[in-house]
Amino acid sequence: MASPPTIYASSSKPPKLHASDIGSIKAFADANGLSPIPSSYYSIVEGRDDVADHLASSIPVIDFSLLTSDHPQLHANAVSQLGKACAEWGIFMVTNHGISEKLMEEVMNKAHEFHNLPVEEKKEFGDKGPWAPIRHGTSFLPQGEKVHYWRDHLKVLTFPQFNFPHKPPGFKEVAYDYSRKIRAVARTLLQGISESLGLESKALMEFTGFDSGLQVFIVNLYPPCPQPELALGLPPHTDQGLLTLLYQNGIGGLQVNHDDKWINVNPLPNCLIVNVADQLEVVSNGKYKSILHRAILNNKHTRMSIPLLNGPKLEKEIGPVPELVEKEEPLYKTIKYRDYFQVQQQARLANKSVLDELRLN
């Protein structure tokens, strides 16, 4: 067995502090510098898992301009690559997506400004539960979790209704523009994914009510952590929704689980990282599995990530698409997307995957 980290051997193990008392891990990290982290943030006890870094360069890359090409063969090739990426990986990078570098930078800068606002100024956005349109908070599920995670977040419902914090000035405007452009990219990807399953291009959009679908705009900030070998930014989880499109500030930290190994995601410049999420697994009847991922930490740089979760319409009944289960057994229950949240909250509190609750034996 590996020798335990020295912090465990010390008689002065740092105190357990509850994330709700800490409020903002950024403010806490700013105030505490290099002091040992509270022991309530120890989520890695056996040392970090091995990382299969030789596989990092195998994460698929989809050229969006080929997917939207008028040339039938180029489009067909892109669709087949997309299907392969969803089936074999559940994560891929999208290049040439058409969202300008300038807009992406503006969103990132404003997002940073938001997290840099004094704690008092952000109090009005404090987390009031899963259905609140704007929620600012820390960790993962502070009220239910046994250990905490080194991250602050802002989560905003940006579709079908657009909500957004009114500060810092200009954030709302660039976020609106970005949110709509991301939805358009997600919509085109969903059409390609539909085709890759042998369905009509609009089939998944219509079945999931995508054009009135939920979008959650998340801004994560992971401050430098003095003991990154002991804590995590986010625990292993899958995302709700159909497709998550994520952009980060150039500091690595996202890892995905592929064939039971953790792999660092090293994004190409200006690309979008796309994750297959739970509802895509369900509608594809398990052909495209939602990807397990987590966020690790470093002790030097602030990491920021901006994932936008694009899901079905809340009132839609979501289960395997009927065309796919004409010749095979449905592997998942059908439930209203709105009710899925209830199941998800309970499953997460019990530390289970929500899909386990929806799987039919």
User: Does residue 208 bind ligand AKG (CB under 6 A)?
Assistant: no
Closer residue to Fe ion (CB): 326 or 356: 356
φ, ψ for residue 91 (rounded to 5)?
A: -150, 140
When binding is defined by CB under 6 A, the residue of 26, 110, 136, 293 that contacts ligand AKG is 293
Choices 96-104, 245-253, 324-332, 340-348; region in contact with ligand AKG by CB under 6 A: 245-253
CA distances for 169 relative to 102, 150, 173, 186, angstroms = 17, 27, 9, 27
Q: How far apart are CA 194 and CA 317, in angstroms?
A: 18
Paired strand residues for 237: 293
Closer residue to ligand AKG (CB): 7 or 343: 343
Closer residue to Fe ion (CB): 257 or 285: 257
Choices 45-53, 129-137, 234-242, 258-266; region in contact with Fe ion by CB under 5 A: 234-242
DSSP 117: S
**Residue labelled with tokens 């100024």:** 121
DSSP string, 7-56: HHHSSSPPPP--HHHH--HHHHHHHHTTSPPPGGG---SS-PPPB-GGGG
Binding mask of the shown chain, residues 42 to 61, with x at each position contacting ligand AKG by CB under 6 A: --------------------
| Least separation in angstroms between CB 344 and Fe ion | 12
User: Does residue 220 bind ligand AKG (CB under 6 A)?
Assistant: yes
Tokens of 206: 């219509």
When binding is defined by CB under 6 A, the residue of 40, 227, 290, 305 that contacts ligand AKG is 305
Binding mask of the shown chain, residues 167 to 206, with x at each position contacting ligand AKG by CB under 6 A: ----------------------------------------
Tokens of 208: 């999931």
When binding is defined by CB under 6 A, the residue of 59, 93, 203, 295 that contacts ligand AKG is 295
**CA-based angle 202:204:209, to the nearest 5?**
95
User: Does residue 239 bind Fe ion (CB under 5 A)?
Assistant: yes
Task: Extract the runs of DSSP E, i.e. beta strands, from the chain.
Answer: 61-63, 91-95, 134-138, 152-159, 215-222, 234-237, 243-248, 254-258, 261-264, 272-276, 293-295, 303-310, 317-318, 335-336
Choices 67-75, 111-119, 166-174, 246-254; region in contact with ligand AKG by CB under 6 A: 246-254
User: Does residue 278 bind Fe ion (CB under 5 A)?
Assistant: no
Residue 125: in which H helix or E strand, if any?
none
Q: Which parts of this chain interact with Fe ion (CB under 5 A)?
A: 239
Q: Which parts of this chain interact with ligand AKG (CB under 6 A)?
A: 218, 220, 234, 239, 246, 248, 253-254, 293, 295, 305, 307
